[in-house]
Amino acid sequence: MSDIAVIVPVYKAHDTIKNTLHSIAMQRHVDFSVYLVVDGEPVGSYDYVTTVFPATIYYLPENVGPGVARQYGIDHTTEPFISFVDADDTYLTSLSLYYMARNMTDKIAVVSCNFMEEKNDHNLHLRENDMVWMHSKLYRRVFLDRHNIRFNETRANEDVGFNTQCQCYANADEQIYMSKDLGYLWQWRDDSTVRTDNQSYAYNESIDGYVVNKIYAFERVLESQPLDDGIKFFIVMGLMYLFRKYLMAMLKAPKQVKHVREWSARYYRELYKLVDAEYLSKAERSIFGLSGFKSEEQYTEYGKWLRRLARQPRAAESTVASTSTATA
């Protein structure tokens, strides 16, 4: 049996899948198998790739989104380690999987390597210490199974729900290792919902998905372990992420500020209010600095924003389970 299951969620990827598979095929010094999970396209529509590439293909009868497709891949494979590649991206070098695998020691549950993001001018931007995207990561299956870590059935920001669970369950014997190695190229696509200058997604579906998946992740974690300082840390960090998005919306998409504030208020009610005042008094300011904020003025504005969230009336709160698919 192979050591690594490389799972590729596939949807309308005929123009890009060959490049993705070529980048997987050139991986060296690791034993792996490849699984394509075709998300709602006709049975047999990708069988042509197996004439030149040894992949197992699963066809889902309906389009359910990349998170559900990835979960199907997890549930239908048995390799001890799992890596994900999107069907319009590539591994960066022939050693990408090797770089992840060589750091997977006995006490490591997840390896996260750095990756490159291609911008619309085709320049590359280094993404470091990421625990949001599935890009450039290797997961130990026994860790996922032990803690029942699963994707939420949403179509936006499902990555953050999965990785938040990993962060909360990590401990001294099941660590997350942040590697400086480069492992992945997040390629630019002109028709990408996530990557184009699309204010609708950035401050609507993306925000909805972030909040829904954070709530999903923390609720699952708190079913099996108490609210400790580690979980409190990630809850507070999540609200500070939303504060940053709020500031960006005021500059770039003022019409969406209300939407961002409403969903931030939901996060505040359902998660932030779980964190006790004693913890906030000793840790919130330092977490604010770790979130990238530096000035006292920003911290003062953050406090005002929190008070506004506390007074925010409850808006109609839909889920994002049926949000239109976001192509990375």
Residues 6+ positions from 43 with CB-CB distance below 8 Å: 59
Residues 42 and 129 in one domain: yes
Pairing, β 124-127 against β 108-118: antiparallel
pLDDT number for residue 191:
65
Using one digit for the tens of pLDDT, what is the confidence trace for 250-293?
Answer: 999 999 999 999 999 999 999 999 999 999 999 999 999 999 99
Residues 173 and 236 in one domain: no
Alpha carbons 237 and 267: distance in angstroms, whole number: 12
Residues 141 and 205 in one domain: no
Average pLDDT of the residues of the chain = 92
Domain that holds residue 247: 199-311
Are 134 and 110 spatial neighbours (Cβ–Cβ below 8 Å)? no
% of the chain exceeding 70 in pLDDT: 92
pLDDT number for residue 318:
55
Domains in the chain, number: 2
pLDDT of 89 over the 50 cut: yes
| This model's pTM is above 0.85 | yes
Question: pLDDT-derived band of residue 1, with 50, 70 and 90 as boundaries?
Answer: low
Joined together, the tokens standing for residue 88 give 């319009």
pLDDT number for residue 309:
96
pLDDT number for residue 17:
96
Residue 152: CATH number of its domain: 3.90.550.10
- SS3 readout for the chain: CCCEEEEEEECCCCCCHHHHHHHHHCCCCCCEEEEEEEECCCCCCCHHHHHCCCEEEEEECCCCCHHHHHHHHHHCCCCCEEEECCCCCEECCCCHHHHHHHCCCCCEEEEEEEEEEECCCCCEEEECCCCCCCCCEEEEHHHHHHCCCCCCCCCCCHHHHHHHHHHHHCECCEEEEEEEEEEEEECCCCCCCCCCCCHHHHHHHHHHHHHHHHHHHHHHHHCCCCCCHHHHHHHHHHHHHHHHHHHHHHHHCHHHHHHHHHHHHHHHHHCHHHCCHHHHHHHHHHHHHHCCCCCHHHHHHHHHHHHHHHHCCCCCCCCCCCCCCCCC
328 domain residue, yes or no: no
pLDDT of 322 over the 50 cut: no
pLDDT of 131 over the 70 cut: yes
pLDDT of 129 over the 80 cut: yes
Using one digit for the tens of pLDDT, what is the confidence trace for 112-127?
Answer: 999 999 998 999 999 9
Residues 204 and 306 in one domain: yes
Residues 205 and 169 in one domain: no
Q: Which residue has the tokens 């598979």?
A: 21
Residues 57 and 88 in one domain: yes
Q: What is the mean pLDDT of residues 46-75?
A: 96
Span of 50-54, 179-183, 229-233, 320-324 with lowest mean pLDDT: 320-324
